């Protein structure tokens, strides 16, 4: 029977982006925990490479100066880690061309992370963008 240790280590590695990079702002950690050809797939666009990912994270942290990502659940199987994450923040800077509204948001986010040789090689991220945009006052949804 295979040891659970690699899955536990993969969980620890995957959690570092939401906890240390996104929430704590340790953007230098990206160079340590991500592969050179790292890829991130999200509604914000396809990101290839560590520097492009760093720039994307800088933009998010500038748009939401109190941004946080709380890991609620983590499941690992093979080289993949699945996480349910709660995102929070206050819209204090431009985001996706939308001027700051000063409104706060709290939404769910699903993240699948692929680990390769102890580093993050690829992520698929699916936050509740509609919920976030509604909460910060950027979009209205018609009432039924």
Beta 119-127 vs 104-116: how paired, if at all?
antiparallel
| 1, pLDDT greater than 80 | no
Q: Is 26 exposed, middle or buried (0-12, 13-18, 19+ CB in 10 A)?
A: middle
The string of pLDDT tens digits covering residues 53-94 is 999 999 999 999 999 999 999 999 999 999 999 999 999 999
Q: Catalogue all structural domains in the chain, each as residue range(s) with its CATH number.
A: 5-135 (3.10.450.50)
Distance (Å, whole) CA 123 – CA 39: 6
The pTM assigned to this predicted structure is 0.91
Q: What pLDDT does 7 receive?
A: 76
């Amino acid at each position: 029977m295979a040891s659970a240790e690699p899955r536990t280590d993969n969980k620890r590695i995957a959690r570092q982006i939401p906890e240390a990079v996104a929430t704590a702002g340790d953007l230098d950690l990206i160079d340590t925990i991500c592969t050179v050809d790292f890829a991130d797939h999200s509604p914000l666009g396809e990101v290839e490479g560590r520097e492009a990912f760093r720039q994307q994270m800088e933009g998010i942290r500038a748009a939401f100066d109190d941004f946080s990502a709380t890991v609620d659940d983590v499941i690992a199987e093979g080289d993949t880690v699945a996480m349910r994450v709660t995102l929070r923040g206050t819209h204090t800077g431009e985001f996706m061309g939308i001027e700051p509204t000063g409104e706060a948001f709290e939404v769910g986010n699903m993240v699948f992370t692929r680990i390769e040789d102890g580093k993050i090689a690829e992520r698929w991220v699916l936050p509740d963008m509609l919920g976030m945009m509604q909460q910060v006052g950027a979009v209205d949804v018609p009432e039924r």
